[in-house]
Structure 1
Amino acid sequence: MTGRRTTYVVIGGIVGLAWAAALRGWMAQLAEGESHSTVTWMTLVLVLLPGLAIGMLLGWSAYLRSRDIRGSRWLVFSPVLFASALLDPEILHALITNGQGSGALIVVAIALCTGYVLSRRRWSIRRAACAVVATLGLLMIAGMGGIAAPMGTPRGAWVGLYGFVLVLLFGLASVLPHPRSRPEPGARAWVVFGALCGLAWACALRSFMAEVAGAESGVEWVNTFGFILLPGTLIGGLLGWAEHLRRTGGRPGRRLLALAPLLFAAILFSNPFDIGGLLDDGVGGGAIGVPVIAMLGGFALSGSGPAWSRSLSGLGFLAGFVTWLVVATDVGGPSFSLTTVHGLWASTLYESLLVLFALAASVPQCAPVDTGAPCGTVPAHRLRNTAAR
């Protein structure tokens, strides 16, 4: 069981790191509405590192939940680590003097309250109060998109949606340390959850694209919402459906869902009369390359198929992973060098998103199991059979 425990913790850490890097991307988009956002070494220490730690703790909580083991009650307060941003004297001073820097406290409050509300079945005064705090907090986060641009514009709507779905997912993850009070989620719940994850992933990728484009970045209703956010949401929903099928024994044709990531290639139809131009400027190539790399990584992680083919797929994913590190400065400029803090953050955001995409893409290719074990781990009944021999 050590392998399963490690898998949960490692995946949780990757998710937490990606979430924190994506949140920093959202903060950067907010700052563009008022002033330029500066990434410092404190960003790594007070944003990315707490995100990694929280993810690992929640991954540990997920493992305990899968084994029906009651964990320490202190795990419920894992989101509080994100308030470590207040350890920065400048942020703390701004919070005390003019109220700025309270975002970390708002995010923590939403996560704790959401986790409490969703982990209970009966209503009480405490649960109702937490529901009010969580709802108002999420609406506040969504409304903050107006800082970047008016909410009626594509940019304002995207930034508001970006923050809302990120913090909502943090709240949903905060349920894990609580004792199980509900039956296993059904197909609809998995599809909705997958769609939310896909939307958050696509929003984060769009923020990375904005960093690469710099001042030339523009948000549009059709290109951003129609060819990035919508495909991301659909892919997430399909992979959520695949996870439900995996947990319920599988169905014929289930592996066809492994092709879902190719929906990102829909951007090639944004200008069907100039596909060559899209390929020339790298947009079309990325729309094809990113899902293909994720699919290769997904197959390598799935544990299904011949070892030699999974090894080749793993090498293909590794090549795609390393490629960005090699061309980062050529694509984004000197600020994307790994020797700069901005480059480290941007590369962490992109690479962690790529790894998450691969993990999600592995789901349709994994053998069905009757437990909640992550894709690629050995099912419990196989462990028991092996021990019996």
Structure 2
Amino acid sequence: MFQRESSIFIALFLLVNVLFFSYAYIEIKQDEQIFQKLHSLKIDNQQLKKQVKDMAIKNQNEHIESSSIIDTVQNIKKSVVSIIATKELPTFRKNFQYYFDPYSQSFYIQPEQQETKTVQVSGGSGFIYSNNGYILTNKHVVQDLESDYTVVLFDGTEIPATVLARDEFQDVAVLKIEQEDQKFYPIAFGNSERVQPGQQVIAIGNALAEFQNTVTTGIISGLGRSIIAGDRQKHSSIDNLLQTDAAINPGNSGGPLLDLQGNVIGMNTAIAQGANGIGFAIPINDILSIAKSVEKYNKIIHPFLGIRYMTLSPKIATDLQLEYTEGAIILGDEKETGIIKDSPADIAGLQMGDIIVEINGQKITADINLQKIILESEIGISIPLTLIRNEEEIKTHVTLTSM
């Protein structure tokens, strides 16, 4: 009897322990699950906080960027102008007067006296770069020699303009406006050599020759582009252009392309026909010499060295069996000289076959060619020049004259 009761007691004891430990295990598992849920919620909460913070930073940056563009436009709007071309055109009428000639016994037709009307024939943009009212624009904006040109300021003031110069090598022209007691606000020049692809830019101009001071934004899409501009009858090549996706419409030509600080880095010039978001601007560094020349001489004067040359490259150097792969080699032979008589190069003693490797402190490379350096140099100033002659380095000076 005692053994039976003892067995029952042991069985009950074991059952209670099993139930107890099973319950404890279940509780522990539930606690673990609750802890994991709490931990997950904590992680989700941290991620949510991070997302909210990132969104706030993004919105703040966009607000700062938007404010920067607004401030820039407000600061430079007084420097941007619209250019209107007008022309006296005949007004044709369909009505004619009939007269009877008693001597010939017949009627004859005499048209009414022909009238003319001033008509706007084109429009473009430009920007003031001097307190004296000098304006830069594209040559094709003011290419009609028979048209009269009027500049419209930011506040609607209209001032007759004089075209001082049209550049023969680049699509650039300079105008001048004068009006008593009128203050002009010159734009600030930037440095187009520092422009990088992806950089944000602002374009301002007289879009479609109708919507004055139209503002568009975008980025620099490419550097050093070359295009053929014009129509089938008349066209020309323009090199070393900035490419941008900022919207440039007809009428924007001649307007400024700006960085976010309001410095002009280019002149809006052309768009790719049949494509969206492909516009081109002349780098401002390629225009500065023209602007300075007109201010100083009242006309465009290009610096002149007086040589025929070829820019070296590794391939050309190999073909000519030259050791030097960079520089500008002066061309010519016994039949045709590569140095113009009495030119700055001739006076400086340069010879055919010389390799100019540096001029005015700048080395000549594929990206920085001799012509670019010369166009950026001043006339009448003696500048250093380094050349290679018979594998010997020679340092000399040359004084550029006007072309």
- Give the structure-1-normalised TM-score: 0.23
Q: Which has the higher contact order (CA 8 A, sep 6+)?
A: 1
Q: Which has the higher helix share?
A: 1
Higher Rg: 2
